[in-house]
Structure 1
């Protein structure tokens, strides 16, 4: 009697993974593959969110809801848990797997050498689920089992990913043609100095951010607003153009 092969017999197990790439030169286009972080166990669930920005201005005398204006889409977000287990390995440890996720939140060597420091761009993939091009926004590691000498043998990592723009940024008329590579969405308590420190390591760069974004009052940032972030190279070119214009003006006065 012939044996019937079912679909489940022929279906191979596909493991989820996060591909870690060098930052791309164009929006939505990743650079060279750095490494792949595999899921030891496929996730039980994952959460994907997409939202849009709408703005409404309340009117004291209005008896109905105020008019609302669409401001554009927010980045797509994904949250997923990664389970690591090295209990079956002699002298096993999950530390290297967890550190690989932490390293994906820090600038790559190539981007630092090119004076364009940026954390890697990543893509989540699992079967037909090919995620957006984004970055790892946060990693929270919870070690759940240790060996007698304190070596972590099991861990659960909650990984939050956020989408990067897949279209070129439009020129900002106040910036002299700068094309920022990414942006920052203002949250409650943010300041331009804090954003400049986080992006460039120099809080004094808040003036550049104010100029690029046409912000007249840096002390009054509206939560939900988008601050465009040029690279240091672009800021240097802009500074050079300003200095050149000033030198030409002084020469004309003479």
Structure 2
């Protein structure tokens, strides 16, 4: 970065879900005072018997990951001579508007200098106009944007190591392994060991030996 030059936040648009084929970028007029990055985890709860004081929650997977930020626009002439509507139009075309080549809005990445902040797609767009000239033309505006995180299915599978109960897994029995324990690692519950034993033609689940190949089928 050049000495004395302010590092600006930048939004870059892409056509592909793997964030290739860059189509343009937008550098903010004013860096935001703050932004929010919120992530969620999803759980299911088991119905607790009447009279109990607690319940068991079971992890289902990652929920939504959203990024919230407000973009500021100024058309008073203090910072730029460009009209507010023109400034907004550039950002809107990049992140909100329908892209006819892909038949949907673009994918975006957000950077602050060289620091990567977020990748995903715009979820909500809420403009607020705070100053008007005598003819009603906006001179200042702020747009609250919410982005939702997005990655390709291939990258998601790599991150999760394809460790899901809705996929078929083949595991080699190691010393000390037993079928209920292996079921617990894959399905999150050891109760499926008899079902897995039947699927593999194992008459006695205690008879598995190191080196045996066990197939764990998807479960409904």
Selected match of 1:98 from 83, 88, 91: 88
How many angstroms apart in 2 are the aligned matches of 1:121 and 1:94?
Answer: 24
Confirm or deny that 1:165 pairs with 2:155. no
Confirm or deny that 1:80 pairs with 2:53. no
Give the CA deviation at 1:11: 5.4
Give the CA deviation at 1:128: 4.7
Alpha-carbon contact 2:45-2:58 (below 8 Å) kept? yes
Selected match of 2:98 from 107, 131, 135: 107
Confirm or deny that 1:149 pairs with 2:135. yes
TM-score (norm 1): 0.54
| Secondary structure, aligned partner of 2:86 | helix
Which of the pair has more CA radius of gyration? 2
Give the CA deviation at 1:162: 0.9
Task: Mark the CA change 1:91 to 1:80 in structure 2 (over 3 Å): closer, same or farther.
Answer: closer
Task: Mark the CA change 1:156 to 1:58 in structure 2 (over 3 Å): closer, same or farther.
Answer: same
Give the CA deviation at 1:42: 0.4
Give the CA deviation at 1:134: 0.2
Task: Mark the CA change 1:74 to 1:129 in structure 2 (over 3 Å): closer, same or farther.
Answer: farther
Selected match of 1:71 from 54, 60, 76: 60
Give the CA deviation at 1:69: 1.0
TM-score (norm 2): 0.62
| Secondary structure, aligned partner of 2:101 | helix
How many angstroms apart in 2 are the aligned matches of 1:74 and 1:96?
Answer: 36
Cα RMSD of the aligned pairs, angstroms, is 2.7
Give the CA deviation at 1:58: 2.2
Alpha-carbon contact 1:54-1:69 (below 8 Å) kept? yes
Selected match of 2:24 from 5, 13, 35: 35
Confirm or deny that 1:17 pairs with 2:10. yes
The structure in which a higher percent of residues are helix is: 1
Alpha-carbon contact 1:23-1:118 (below 8 Å) kept? no
The structure in which a higher percent of residues are strand is: 2
Give the CA deviation at 1:13: 1.2
Task: Mark the CA change 1:128 to 1:51 in structure 2 (over 3 Å): closer, same or farther.
Answer: farther
Partner residue in 1 for 2:193:
none
Partner residue in 1 for 2:112:
126
**Structure 1 segments unaligned to the other structure (5+ residues):** 1-8, 112-116, 175-254
Partner residue in 2 for 1:47:
36
Give the CA deviation at 1:127: 2.8
**Structure 2 segments unaligned to the other structure (5+ residues):** 167-220
Residue by residue, what CA displacement relative to the aligned partner does 1:157-183 show, whole Å, maximum 9, x if unpaired? 111111013442779xx9xxxxxxxxx
